[in-house]
């Protein structure tokens, strides 16, 4: 299966997002998913372009709203493997409400946050993941707010699968995306993805020097919520690997016979004229 298309990404050379695109394509191929059974929904930002760079169904949504669209896609057509993706501004600022409620709702899909700790598309402003004191054009005297900690937030919001990776470790992120896609429920994968143009602090070298790899931590048990929270706090969120996974039923597992008559197979009794009218109403 070839998840490549002929659209050339216009990310800056060296941008961490290239690895994430490649990782999604490899993970889908490794799991024998076909392009017509994969949907990628994105938000706004440099990260948002990813839905156009993968040979699958793609939907480039609006800022912070990739998750409601992706959840709707999965509910309408449970046969699709659904990925939502966006930047840290998309998911942890304007879209934060959706992020928290999607985690506790637990619809079977994967959310990949391309976390570069800055707003890249708009030329480098402080984002919710920028550290306190971070200097950009929008905070010339240093950010006055504390950074958002998505790992602690996810664990306390009922996430069923939580992983964190680094764009500099392609093999690692392919593996965690595969595991997230196979998880029965909502999976959040936060990936440190350096913005080489506007963020000179959170660089490849910075992550290589500061990341703690869970695979090196003897005795770590990703089914233990308390241990996961303790490790996240101990490392100040700078850890990579599968941090937590539970076996809870997904949202739709709790709806009797849900898979037997999905919306995608229902006759909506919509004539071509009625469909045109509906589309025009929203244009
Ligand atoms: Fe990547 Fe930053 Fe360039 Fe955007 S501005 S494409 S995030 S390196």
Report how many domains make up the chain.
1
Q: Is the CB of 91 under 6 A from ligand 1?
A: no
Asked whether residue 275 is assigned to any structural domain, the reply reads no
- The answer, yes or no, to whether any atom of ligand 1 lies below 6 A from the CB of 116, is yes
Domain membership of residue 279 (yes or no) is no
Domain that includes residue 197, residue range: 17-252
Among 15, 19, 43, 52, the mutation site with the greatest number of ligand 1 atoms within 8 A of its Cβ is 15
Closest approach atom of ligand 1 to CA 123: 5
Q: Does 269 reside within a domain?
A: no
Spatial distance between the Cα atoms of 181 and 27, rounded to a whole number of angstroms: 9
* Structural domain includes residue 273: no
* Residue with CA closest to ligand 1 atom 1: 15
CATH number (domain holding residue 134): 3.40.50.970
Q: Ligand 1: which residue has its CA nearest to atom 3?
A: 12
The ipTM value here is 0.99
Q: The pTM is what? A: 0.95
Residue 26 falls inside a structural domain:
yes
Q: Is residue 3 part of a domain?
A: no
Q: Ligand 1 centre and the CA of 9: distance in Å?
A: 11
CA–CA dist 71, 14 (Å, integer): 31
Tens of pLDDT, residue by residue, the chain (283 residues): 699 999 999 999 999 999 999 999 999 999 999 999 999 999 999 999 999 999 999 999 999 999 999 999 999 999 999 999 999 999 999 999 999 999 999 999 999 999 999 999 999 999 999 999 999 999 999 999 999 999 999 999 999 999 999 999 999 999 999 999 999 999 999 999 999 999 999 999 999 999 999 999 999 999 999 999 999 999 999 999 999 999 999 999 999 999 888 989 988 788 889 889 988 988 7
Note whether residue 97 is domain-resident: yes
Task: From residue 3, give the alpha-carbon distance in Å to each of 15, 38, 41, 191, 195.
Answer: 20, 9, 15, 20, 24
Q: Is 254 exposed, middle or buried (0-12, 13-18, 19+ CB in 10 A)?
A: exposed
Distance CA 20, CA 5 (A): 15
């Amino acid at each position: 299966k070839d998840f490549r298309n002929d659209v050339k990404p216009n990310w800056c050379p060296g941008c961490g997002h290239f690895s994430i695109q490649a990782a999604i394509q490899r993970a889908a191929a490794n799991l024998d998913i076909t392009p017509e059974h994969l949907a990628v929904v994105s938000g706004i930002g440099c990260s948002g372009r990813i839905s156009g760079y993968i040979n699958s169904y793609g939907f480039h949504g609006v800022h912070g709203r990739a998750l409601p669209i992706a959840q709707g896609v999965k509910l309408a057509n449970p046969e699709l493997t659904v990925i939502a993706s966006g930047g840290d501004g998309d998911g942890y600022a304007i879209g934060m409400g959706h992020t928290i409620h999607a985690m506790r709702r637990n619809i079977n899909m994967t959310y990949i946050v391309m976390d570069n700790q800055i707003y890249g598309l708009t030329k480098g402003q402080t984002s919710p993941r920028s550290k306190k004191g971070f200097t950009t054009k929008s905070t010339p005297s240093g950010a006055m707010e504390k950074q958002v900690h998505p790992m602690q937030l996810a664990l306390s919001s009922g996430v069923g699968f939580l992983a964190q990776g680094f764009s500099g470790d392609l093999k690692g992120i392919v593996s965690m995306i595969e595991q997230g896609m196979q998880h029965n429920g909502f999976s959040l994968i936060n990936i440190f993805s350096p913005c080489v143009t506007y963020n000179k602090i959170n660089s490849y070298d910075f992550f290589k020097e500061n990341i703690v790899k869970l695979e090196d931590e003897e005795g770590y048990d990703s089914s233990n919520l308390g241990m996961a929270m303790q490790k996240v706090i101990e490392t100040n969120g700078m850890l990579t690997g599968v941090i937590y996974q539970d076996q809870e039923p997904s949202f739709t597992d709790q709806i009797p016979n849900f898979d037997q008559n999905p919306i995608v197979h229902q006759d909506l009794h919509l004539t071509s004229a009625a469909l045109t009218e509906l589309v025009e109403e929203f244009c």
